[in-house]
């Protein structure tokens, strides 16, 4: 019988800047007296992120959710938007906050992403856009989605919250679609404690989003439209500047851990591990397994509870589906019968701990526990 971990081992642990380096950055901010409102640190972070990600039109925001809400406004989305139910609450909520009706589309069994083959049947005269999510950093079928969008004159706004630094055949993930949102929450590979970014393919859209994040103000005497407050502050931008050079090493470490998990769990009956996709530069934000109760002997919920007894705090990302939230479940597209794959996946996935400070021994022990609890 294995002993539980002495301390809880969480699904992630945030990357932290060196405290002395942060102190030096704070001194610069204190000297400048500029704490917010598009100061030097925010501008530097935007420049460095644009360079790192290979994107020209990039702006940072106070969080990913507000960035997504602003993107909907900047793209003038309205009516209905087709999206995935297998995502974090923020995706569908950003539409609802813009008085847009989310129309839920089923997902692919292998990638957990929006299934492009199910999109066309959901398009009506009220549809203005598609909002797919690159779930767990795995790219959507960007080419098929683009073809459908062009055929019906729809915008494509990607929720790339998990996909920082991901590339498809060498192209940055945010070069696809009209706009993409990255989350810089503390639980993400690159973060600014709270924060987010939008990348656009049109400079006009960036200009509009920049004004929308600052109340719609366009000049000293001119407010163009009802904007909001979506500004990132200088201290958080400084955290981002210090973390950016650490991202590559973090991804490398996570890649090793992902490989180790794959080797140790790949042959366990009833457990499916995620695999790299051809042509994709991955960023390894989460390690997610699928559990088939008939073969493994325990359900996902039973594994979740058992792991907790060993101090392994896994997460049921993404359960419940957005389409099953009380606020959306009355929408016709949300019915369980229309989303068979998404409902099946949401009931069987489990995210295991994954971060750069995990040791090989930790991974081995978690895998031993998973094998040991198997009836
Ligand atoms: N779209 C998608 C697809 C998203 O996944 C998200 C966010 C968004 C949009 C919206 O972006 P933001 O507005 O958040 O920028 C977390 C995050 O809060 C959320 O950002 C993220 N997705 C979501 C998938 O996960 P919780 O409720 O699961 O987080 P929490 O607090 O349980 O944290 C998970 C574990 O991480 C904890 O057990 C311990 C560890 N942790 C967490 C924090 C915050 C730490 O060790 N230190 C920390 O400071 O939502």
From 5, 8, 185, give the residue whose CB has the most ligand 1 atoms within 8 Å, as the site to mutate. 185
From 70, 88, 188, give the residue whose CB has the most ligand 1 atoms within 8 Å, as the site to mutate. 88
Q: 2: pLDDT confidence band, cut at 50, 70 and 90?
A: confident
Please indicate whether residue 138, judged by its CB atom, sits closer than 6 Å to ligand 1.
no
Mean pLDDT of the region 108-113: 97
CA distance 129 to 156: 6
Please indicate whether residue 217, judged by its CB atom, sits closer than 6 Å to ligand 1.
no
Atom 7 of ligand 1, nearest CA residue: 88
Q: Kindly report each contact of residues 144-150 with a partner whose C-beta sits within 8 Å and lies 24 or more positions away, as own/partner.
A: 144/116, 144/117, 145/114, 145/116, 145/119, 145/176, 145/177, 146/176, 146/177, 148/116, 148/119, 148/120, 149/177
* Reported pTM: 0.98
First to last CA, the chain: 13
- Report CA(12)–ligand 1 centroid distance (Å): 9
Per-residue pLDDT, 151 = 98
Atom 42 of ligand 1, nearest CA residue: 187
Q: What is the pLDDT of residues 271-313, one digit of tens each?
A: 999 899 999 999 999 999 999 999 999 999 999 999 999 999 9
| Encoded tokens for 122 | 């959901």
* Percent of residues, the chain, with pLDDT higher than 70: 100
* Percent of residues, the chain, with pLDDT higher than 90: 99
Mean pLDDT of the region 193-215: 97
Please indicate whether residue 136, judged by its CB atom, sits closer than 6 Å to ligand 1.
no
Atom 19 of ligand 1, nearest CA residue: 185
- Report CA(342)–ligand 1 centroid distance (Å): 21
Average pLDDT, the chain: 97
Q: What is the pLDDT of residues 232-249, one digit of tens each?
A: 999 999 999 999 999 999
Q: What is the pLDDT of residues 326-355, one digit of tens each?
A: 999 999 999 999 999 999 999 999 999 999
> Are residues 81 and 130 in contact, defined by beta-carbon separation less than 8 angstroms?
yes
Please indicate whether residue 339, judged by its CB atom, sits closer than 6 Å to ligand 1.
no
Atom 8 of ligand 1, nearest CA residue: 90
Distances (CA, A) of 135 to 40, 72, 352, 359, 365: 33, 19, 15, 26, 27
| Encoded tokens for 98 | 């813009």
Q: 1: pLDDT confidence band, cut at 50, 70 and 90?
A: confident
Which one, of 181, 210, 225, lies nearest residue 67 by Cα?
Answer: 181
CA distance 213 to 37: 10
Q: 31: pLDDT confidence band, cut at 50, 70 and 90?
A: very high
Helix (H), strand (E), coil (C) string for 67-135: HHHHHHHHCCCCCEEEECCCCCHHHHHHHHCCCCEEEECCECCCCCCECHHHCHHHCCCCEEEEECECH
Residue ranges and CATH numbers for the domains of the chain are 19-245 (3.40.640.10), 246-372 (3.90.1150.10)
Q: What is the pLDDT of residues 140-155, one digit of tens each?
A: 999 999 999 999 999 9
């Amino acid at each position: 019988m294995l002993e539980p971990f002495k301390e809880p081992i969480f699904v992630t642990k945030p990357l932290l800047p060196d405290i002395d380096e942060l102190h030096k950055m704070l001194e610069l901010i204190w000297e400048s007296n500029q704490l917010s409102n598009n100061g030097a640190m925010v501008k530097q972070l935007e420049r460095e992120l644009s360079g790192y990600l290979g994107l020209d039109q990039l702006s940072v925001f106070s969080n990913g959710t507000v960035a997504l809400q602003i993107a909907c406004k900047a793209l003038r989305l309205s009516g209905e938007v087709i999206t995935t139910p297998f995502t974090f609450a923020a995706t569908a909520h950003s539409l609802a906050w813009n008085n847009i009706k989310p129309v839920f589309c089923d997902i692919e069994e292998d990638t957990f992403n929006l299934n492009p083959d199910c999109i066309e049947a959901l398009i009506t005269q009220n549809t203005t856009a598609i909002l797919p999510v690159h779930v767990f950093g795995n790219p959507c079928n960007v080419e098929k989605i683009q073809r459908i969008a062009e055929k019906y004159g729809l915008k494509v706004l990607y929720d790339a919250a998990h996909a920082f630094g991901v590339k498809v055949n060498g192209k940055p993930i945010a070069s696809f679609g009209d706009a993409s949102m990255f989350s810089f929450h503390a639980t993400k590979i690159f973060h600014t404690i709270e924060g987010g970014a939008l990348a656009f393919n049109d400079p006009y859209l960036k200009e509009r989003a920049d004004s929308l994040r600052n109340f719609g103000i366009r000049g000293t005497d001119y407010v163009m439209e009802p904007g909001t407050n979506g500004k990132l502050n200088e201290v958080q931008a400084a955290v981002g500047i210090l973390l950016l050079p650490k991202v590559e090493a973090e991804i490398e470490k996570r890649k090793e851990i992902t490989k180790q998990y794959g080797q140790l769990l790949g042959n366990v009956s009833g457990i499916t591990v995620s695999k790299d996709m051809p042509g994709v530069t991955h960023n390894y934000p989460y390690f997610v397994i699928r559990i088939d109760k008939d073969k493994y002997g325990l359900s996902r919920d039973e594994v979740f509870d058992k792991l907790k007894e060993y101090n392994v705090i896994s997460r049921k990302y993404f359960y419940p589906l957005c389409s099953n939230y009380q606020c959306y479940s009355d929408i016709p597209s949300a019915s369980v019968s229309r989303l068979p794959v998404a409902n099946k996946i949401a009931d069987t996935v489990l995210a295991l701990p994954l971060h750069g400070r995990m040791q090989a021994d930790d991974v081995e022990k978690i895998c031993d526990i998973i094998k040991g609890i198997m009836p």
